[in-house]
Every structure is written in structure tokens, then in C-alpha cells.
Amino acid sequence: MYEFAKVDYPYVKKDNGCRLVWTDPHDNDKEKVIYLTQDDLSHLHTVLSQKSTGRVTLEDNAGSIIVNESESSFNIKGDKPLTVKTSVLAEKFLKFIEDHDKVIIKCTEYVPSQKIGEVDVKNKLLSAILTSETKEDKLDTDLFHVMATRRSTRKFAEKQIEDWKIDRVLAAADTAPTAGNFQGFEVFYVKDEKVKEMLVKAANNQPYVNAPLVLVFCKNPSRVKLNFPPETLAKFAIQDATIACAYSQLAASALGLSSIWIGMIDEQKVMDAIGTNLRPSSILCIGYPVQKRNPRPRRNLKDLIHVI
């Protein structure tokens, strides 16, 4: 028997809907989630805020919600109804809406500077971005030279980054290998100055987080559709997000840009700042360096490598 637990954000807040979660009190791992779209949410809000009763038909006829005076039931096609006391639902739902309105961030769709025809053809946009002709003299196409010369930067010049370079840095993340190729990560490309300031605070007040290009890499284990325990999927997602960030970092160097990887973050503050329910793994801050510096020393390769 599932008990109503909470109203929560959808995984990506741009959806502007919510998740209603029921849990099994005898088994922490078991839960049932009903996803409400923005329209569903606003219909339910109308009923509950007016303290009335009624029926909400979910978008695409996925099911319905019946709000009665004492109990409400959520009827999703092909599943047993989930119930909750109407007073409990109203309290949690209205509180969610109140908080939600305070923090809502509208993500918009990423529009690359490349204009190409049918972008829905798999990888066409990605290939176009990665292989487009460029007059740029600073483009370093020798991977090993990029590796040998990369150096982190904490002082960025005011100079704007060209759109095509941003496209490439983002596209590089999309080329990273991921567990089962499920791409268990998301990239938040932060343009909003206020959000950048919030990220500075979320990163222990490291001021250079407010960089010309700020990318937040988040884990999204729910994308990893492999039949393994949740801990394994979580491990895959952090590895996916980390490799993608490293790919973008190397791409930035190849483009004559510099970056700083930020791992010292308060995860919840980052999530609040960018408006997601997904846990961040790192922030990558990119720009033109004020000064180009030599790479930092590393361990002797002989000490690092252990031959077995």
C-alpha cells in the first residue's frame, strides 16, 4: 500500500510541471510517481486553491485526478489508483506552488549558431558543428599538443567567446562516451548574470565562477536504462557527467580558450540556482585567459603508472 509522500520538481524545471510521489512505508526503494505537466498542474491548482472538488483529466488522456472532499485519487491508465487525503494533498501542493513561484527559472532551448537543414537527422548537427570550416588560426587540432599545453585559468579577459566556439565546446560534451550510450548527464549553459552570481556563492564564493561561459554538468541517472542497482546507475551518471566535462574542457583549450573546473560546490545551492532536481557534478568556467601560462608540473610518469 503506497502512501503519499511529496510534491517534487520535475527532473528538469523547464518542464514547469511537478512529480507527485507515493512511497511504500515497508520498502524505501519502492515508489510510484505521477508526473503532471504544466497544464495538469495548473488545473489541479485551480481546484485545490478554490477548496473545491472536481475532476482533472491529464494531458494526452493519460488518466485523471478526482478531488473529493476527504480523499483524492489519481487514476493512471493501466495502474491501480493512488490515493491521498485531500487536506494533505492541498497543503503540500499549495506549498510547492508557493515555493516554485519564488525560484522558477525558465530554461530556453539552445540554438546553435550553425544553420543547417534537417537537424533531426541523427548526429547531423553535431557533425556540422564539429567539422565546420573555420578561419581561426588559434584552432589546435593536435590532441596531444592540446593535452601537453592545457593550463587552468582563474582570470578571464572581458573578450566575448565567439558563438561557433561555444557550439564546439557544447558539442564536445555530446561526443563523450557514456555508460550504454545512455548519456546519463545534462549540461546547463548559464547565460543569466544573476544565476552566475548565485553559482559564485554556491561555489564557496570563488569569484571566477562568474566567467564568460559557464556550464554546469549534472548527473541524470534516470537516463541510464540499464538493469543494474540504483547505486551502479548513480556511478555511471557521475562518470558520464565527468567525462563530458573533461571533453568540453579539452575542446576549450583546442579553441584557444582556457577554463577552470569547479568541484568545490554546494550541490543544493547549485541546484537551486539553475533550477533542477538533478545533482551537479562540476561547473566548467571558460573564457579567454588574461595571460597564457605554462602547464603545471605533474608526478613523474614512472611513479604514477603501476605495471602489474
Ligand X SMILES: Cc1cc2nc3c(=O)[nH]c(=O)nc-3n(C[C@H](O)[C@H](O)[C@H](O)COP(=O)(O)O)c2cc1C
The CB-of-151 to ligand X minimum distance in angstroms stands at 4
The CB-of-105 to ligand X minimum distance in angstroms stands at 23
CA angle, residues 19, 263, 252, in degrees to nearest 5? 100
Candidates 64, 149, 152, 175; binder of ligand X (CB under 6 A) is 152
Please choose, from the candidates 14, 13, 69, 63, the residue with its C-alpha nearest in 3D space to the C-alpha of residue 43: 63
Q: Which residues of 61-97 are buried (b: 16+ CB within 10 A; e: fewer)?
A: ebbbbbbeeeebebbbeeeeebbbebeebbebbeebb
The CB-of-217 to ligand X minimum distance in angstroms stands at 11
Give the residue with the Cβ less far from ligand X, 164 or 261.
261
- Considering the rule CB under 6 A, would residue 262 count as an interface residue with ligand X? yes
Checking phi first, is residue 218 left (phi over 0); if not, alpha (psi -120 to 50) or beta? beta
- Considering the rule CB under 6 A, would residue 264 count as an interface residue with ligand X? yes
Give the residue with the Cβ less far from ligand X, 154 or 235.
154
- Considering the rule CB under 6 A, would residue 151 count as an interface residue with ligand X? yes
- H or E stretch covering 196: helix 193-202
The CB-of-295 to ligand X minimum distance in angstroms stands at 6
The CB-of-189 to ligand X minimum distance in angstroms stands at 19
Type of residue numbered 247: Y
Candidates 86, 183, 206, 248; binder of ligand X (CB under 6 A) is 206
Give the residue with the Cβ less far from ligand X, 207 or 230.
207
Type of residue numbered 249: Q
CB-nearest residue to ligand X: 263
Q: Rg of the chain's alpha carbons, rounded to an integer?
A: 23
State how far the Cα of 151 lies from the Cα of 149, in Å rounded to an integer: 6
222 to 261: interface string for ligand X, x by CB under 6 A: --------------------------------------xx
The CB-of-249 to ligand X minimum distance in angstroms stands at 8
Give DSSP secondary structure letters for 146-193: HHHH----S-B-SPPPPHHHHHHHHHHHHTS--GGG---EEEEEE--H
Instruction: Please report, as ranges, the residues that interact with ligand X according to CB under 6 A.
Output: 151-152, 154, 206, 260-264, 295-296
